Structure 1
Amino acid sequence: MTGWRHARSERLWLDAVSATDLDGVHAIHADPATWTHFPAGRHVSPEMTAGKIDQMVEQWSADGLGYWGVRESAGGPVVGVAGCAVPAGFAWWNLYYRFAVSAQGRRYAAEVARRAIEAAHDVAPDRPVLAYLLESNVASRRTAERLGLREVWRGPDRDNPDPAAVRIVYLDRDPDDELTRRVEEFCRARSGTAAG
């Protein structure tokens, strides 16, 4: 497959996030219930979400893949944001999934993440897929493990308001020494962001 802007999973419609998705994407990211494990990540204004959407649009343009707006029906409202995108300055795919409370508990994250990993392997198979998440987010950890991702790093989330917070990195492959070094550098530099 060469184009991933519009895709399907078993039950869901996946469309590259665009500015027209602002209301749905903001509703998900502004809801404190979707940030239980990292309250500081919540979007506090539509402008903040619009800035993130601009980044997502740029990722699609730059890398041929990014985050999708997830829908339960064609043209329906966005119930999640998920996919793989390349973080600025790094050489891997970041696997991300966040769903409205109304869509949680249906294993949508695993369903879309499987499709996202397939897309990432199609677009740039040499680029590893990374999931960067909080240890306390058991559901997200289980999803990563169900997908066959392997834990390769764990350490403090230094800028997290919770001083006991621990970040975990999962990869879709065993890292070589260089990738291990870059992952550790990434984790030390990029605390305070939630990947899943």
Structure 2
Amino acid sequence: MSEENVRTDRLVLTRPVPADLDDVFTLYSDPAVWEHFPSRRHTDPATTRGLLDAVDESWQLVGLGSWVARDADGALVGTGGCDLRLGLAWNLGYRLARASWGQGYAQELIRAAVAAARRVRFDLPITAYLLEHNVRSKAAAERAGLHLVWQGPDAGNPDPAAVRLLYADRPLSTVVVRELTAT
């Protein structure tokens, strides 16, 4: 089964293509979707192109990466899925357009991503790496069945007080935690 195009009850999930650049840039340049990490907001399409190149590399290397999520009418709902992180774990992530918040799309996307990751590489843990003050993402990770396995300083964050949380679907070795939280 190809993971590149997946349908859920309400979403069409597709591997990103160059034609998605403008929609994804609009999403990633919206300050509302970066309220918890404003310095990561995209300010030019080249940054978004770099993100899409990294996602494409995940697809090429392991047959799975993030998708572009659209509703039945083709409107962008967001992006998300599981990307391989350092060859050690799947990183579950999503970013939804502000107009799509509170409608259950995150859990729909998460369910599809977890199922796809388990089909592609069941041996790898599924993780979520998020900021402590992002209560919606914490709740989404917990609803997905992930459990807090680490919390500590957010390496590389311009806010020295920022705390990262690492959730996982299973216990992680000390080595894996150290590697996943060092970047």
Instruction: Kindly state the Cα deviation for residue 186 of structure 1 after the two structures are TM-superposed.
Output: 2.4
153-162 or 49-58: which moved more? 153-162
Instruction: Kindly state the Cα deviation for residue 18 of structure 1 after the two structures are TM-superposed.
Output: 1.5
**8 Å CA contact 2:27, 2:33 repeated in 1:** yes
Instruction: Kindly state the Cα deviation for residue 158 of structure 1 after the two structures are TM-superposed.
Output: 3.6
**8 Å CA contact 1:24, 1:77 repeated in 2:** no
Task: Please give the root-mean-square deviation of Cα atoms over the aligned residues, in Å.
Answer: 1.2
Match of 1:83 in 2: 81
Equivalent of 2:165 in 165, 168, 173: 168
**8 Å CA contact 2:3, 2:64 repeated in 1:** yes
Match of 1:53 in 2: 52
User: Are residues 1:181 and 2:179 paired?
Assistant: no
Number of aligned positions between the proteins: 183
Aligned AA (1:24): D
Equivalent of 2:97 in 87, 94, 100: 100
TM-score normalised by the chain length of structure 2: 0.95
Match of 2:146 in 1: 149
Question: Aligned with 2:36: secondary structure?
Answer: coil
Instruction: Kindly state the Cα deviation for residue 148 of structure 1 after the two structures are TM-superposed.
Output: 0.6
Pair 158,123 (structure 1): closer, same or farther in 2 beyond 3 Å: closer
**8 Å CA contact 1:66, 1:86 repeated in 2:** yes
State how far apart, in whole Å, the 2-side matches of 1:59 and 1:159 are.
22
Write the deviation string for residues 150-171 of structure 1: whole angstroms up to 9, x where unpaired. 1101001143222221100001
Instruction: Kindly state the Cα deviation for residue 30 of structure 1 after the two structures are TM-superposed.
Output: 0.7
State how far apart, in whole Å, the 2-side matches of 1:150 and 1:183 are.
13
Runs of 4+ residues over 6 Å off in structure 1: none
State how far apart, in whole Å, the 2-side matches of 1:58 and 1:161 are.
27
Instruction: Kindly state the Cα deviation for residue 185 of structure 1 after the two structures are TM-superposed.
Output: 2.6
State how far apart, in whole Å, the 1-side matches of 2:15 and 2:177 are.
27
User: Are residues 1:71 and 2:65 paired?
Assistant: no
State how far apart, in whole Å, the 2-side matches of 1:90 and 1:167 are.
20
**8 Å CA contact 2:88, 2:176 repeated in 1:** no
Match of 1:193 in 2: none
Match of 2:108 in 1: 111
Match of 1:41 in 2: 40
State how far apart, in whole Å, the 1-side matches of 2:37 and 2:27 are.
14
Match of 2:28 in 1: 29
TM-score normalised by the chain length of structure 1: 0.89
Instruction: Kindly state the Cα deviation for residue 54 of structure 1 after the two structures are TM-superposed.
Output: 1.2
Question: Aligned with 2:82: secondary structure?
Answer: strand
Match of 2:15 in 1: 16
Gaps of 5+ in 2: none
State how far apart, in whole Å, the 1-side matches of 2:178 and 2:101 are.
31
Aligned AA (2:99): S
Instruction: Kindly state the Cα deviation for residue 38 of structure 1 after the two structures are TM-superposed.
Output: 0.3
